[in-house]
């Protein structure tokens, strides 16, 4: 059964338009609060947010929803998504909420929910909450209405946690690091943690005004970081997204380092020290074939999942892996966190950099990525991937790339778009294959 409100990462949309309205946020609070009201103890939810203007509106609406069903609320203000997950678990809350639309522009917002274990909700939990959103939720009697309070030391708790993941025998002394916080949730905690570990920190994207989150800064717009790293002579640049659950890095030459290279760097180092669980790592079908070949040369496996960090985490948990992520920079290190954590992942990469003593351009370039092309074909309706001509084009493309590359075709889960991705040893062949499949999809969708 398809979910009505929840997508691959919570509920998301343009604010003040369905479903991202104050009224819906209150209903989500009521439904989620009622769903997690288990046992006779006083129930509690941790609510964090990024720096979007609409965060105030949605936060207050969710407080009303949760307290109306008898749940106490702990407000931690602007905090990274992984910090909310960590605080939910460490404060023994019954659930956690992050109000954020991640890397989207400020006009969008979203609601991410975590269970008491700090993990994102299962499909079953989301379906149960959706059913309650559209139904009637019993309100608490007047004497059992919840209370709301702000915790002022939440930032300090997360900074302490993040620093604890960095090896005790190492420091960042002597390193100049540029950190771009996307004018988002980590604008205070990330520069502070890096500075306290000894780095000289140049901070950009740390002046949020409610409307400038991800605007020309952050992991989806790394040009500012690239220029700043080169101009300041920094050894490394770190760019987080709006809710700081993913990152990309920039080496001292201004070159962007994506999630595939970062996963390879961490996995190589952990494997050498006997810390890598499962004999490999988990990534999605979008990760470059170069990563897979690199790992194989080290005697390590690459396990692929569908696109979405939740699917990566599910595989990690079910099969015993402790490193996983996405090419886009969601890096999940389950020894430390229950979700992607850009700051914690950057600290593990920095540990490898410090140990090696070599420049980032050498340490972080683990393999040469194969030519990879992704094109989108928009369609108005129907199921073009079920068309016979499209199936034949896909089969022919797969046969042509067999042994020399990969073809990944999928329908977007958020918009009427077919995504066609291919990679292989020959750039011209890859582009020709993608173009032929896209043309077949366009004709079928016409």
Instruction: Give the residue numbers marked as catalytic.
Output: 102
Per-residue b/e over 41-78, b at no fewer than 16 CB within 10 Å?
Answer: eebbbbbbbbbbebbebbbebbbbbbbbbbbbbbbbbb
CA dihedral 355, 357, 359, 364 (to 10 degrees): -20
Task: Read off the tokens for 222.
Answer: 């790394």
Neighbour count for residue 348 (Cβ, 10 Å): 23
Cβ proximity of 216 and 224 under 8 Å? yes
Q: What is the DSSP letter of 427?
A: H
Nearest Cα to Cα of residue 95 among 29, 19, 20? 29
Question: Distance (Å, rounded) from C-alpha 145 to C-alpha 139?
Answer: 8
Where residue 210 falls (left for φ over 0; alpha for ψ -120 to 50; beta otherwise) is: left
Cβ proximity of 411 and 418 under 8 Å? yes
Question: Distance (Å, rounded) from C-alpha 293 to C-alpha 407?
Answer: 16
Neighbour count for residue 200 (Cβ, 10 Å): 16
Question: Distance (Å, rounded) from C-alpha 333 to C-alpha 121?
Answer: 18
Nearest Cα to Cα of residue 426 among 374, 373, 375, 371? 371
């Amino acid at each position: 059964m398809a979910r009505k409100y929840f997508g691959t990462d919570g509920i998301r949309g343009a604010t003040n338009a369905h479903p991202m309205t104050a009224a819906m946020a209150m209903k989500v609070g009521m439904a989620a609060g009622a769903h997690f009201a288990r046992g006779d103890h006083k129930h509690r939810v941790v609510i964090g947010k990024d720096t979007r203007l609409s965060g105030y509106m949605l936060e207050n609406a969710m407080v009303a929803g949760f307290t109306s069903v008898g749940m106490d609320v702990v407000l931690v203000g602007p905090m990274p998504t992984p910090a909310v997950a960590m605080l939910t678990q460490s404060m023994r809350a019954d659930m956690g909420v992050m109000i954020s639309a991640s890397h989207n522009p400020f006009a969008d917002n979203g609601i991410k929910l975590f269970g008491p274990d700090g993990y994102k909700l299962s499909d079953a939990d989301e379906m149960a909450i959706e059913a309650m959103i559209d139904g009637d939720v019993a309100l608490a009697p007047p004497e059992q209405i919840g209370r709301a309070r702000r915790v002022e030391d939440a930032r300090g708790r997360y900074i302490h946690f993040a620093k604890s993941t960095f090896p005790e025998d190492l420091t960042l002394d002597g390193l100049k690091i540029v950190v771009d916080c996307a004018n988002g949730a980590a604008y205070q905690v990330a520069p502070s943690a890096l500075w306290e570990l000894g780095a000289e920190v140049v901070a950009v994207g740390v002046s949020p005004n409610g409307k400038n989150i991800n605007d020309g800064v952050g992991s989806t717009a790394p040009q500012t970081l690239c220029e700043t790293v080169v101009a300041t002579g920094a050894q490394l640049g770190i760019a987080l997204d709006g809710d700081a659950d993913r990152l990309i890095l920039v080496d001292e030459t201004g070159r962007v380092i994506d999630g595939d290279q970062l996963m390879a760097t961490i996995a190589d180092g952990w494997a050498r020290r006997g810390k890598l669980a499962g004999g490999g790592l988990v990534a999605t079908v979008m990760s470059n074939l170069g990563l897979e070949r690199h790992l194989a040369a080290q005697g390590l496996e690459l396990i692929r999942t569908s696109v979405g960090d939740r699917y990566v985490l599910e595989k990690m948990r079910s099969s015993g892996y402790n490193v996983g992520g996405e090419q886009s920079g969601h890096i999940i290190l389950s020894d430390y966190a229950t979700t992607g954590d850009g700051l914690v992942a950057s600290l593990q990469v920095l540990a490898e950099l410090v140990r090696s003593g070599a420049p980032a351009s050498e340490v972080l370039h683990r393999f040469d990525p194969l030519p990879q092309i992704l094109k989108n074909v928009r369609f108005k309706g129907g199921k073009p991937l079920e068309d016979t001509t499209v199936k034949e084009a896909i089969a022919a493309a797969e046969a042509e790339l067999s042994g020399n590359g990969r073809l990944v075709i999928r329908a977007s889960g958020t918009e009427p778009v077919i995504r066609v991705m291919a990679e292989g040893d020959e750039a011209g062949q890859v582009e020709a294959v993608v173009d032929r499949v896209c043309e077949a999809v366009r004709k079928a969708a016409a």
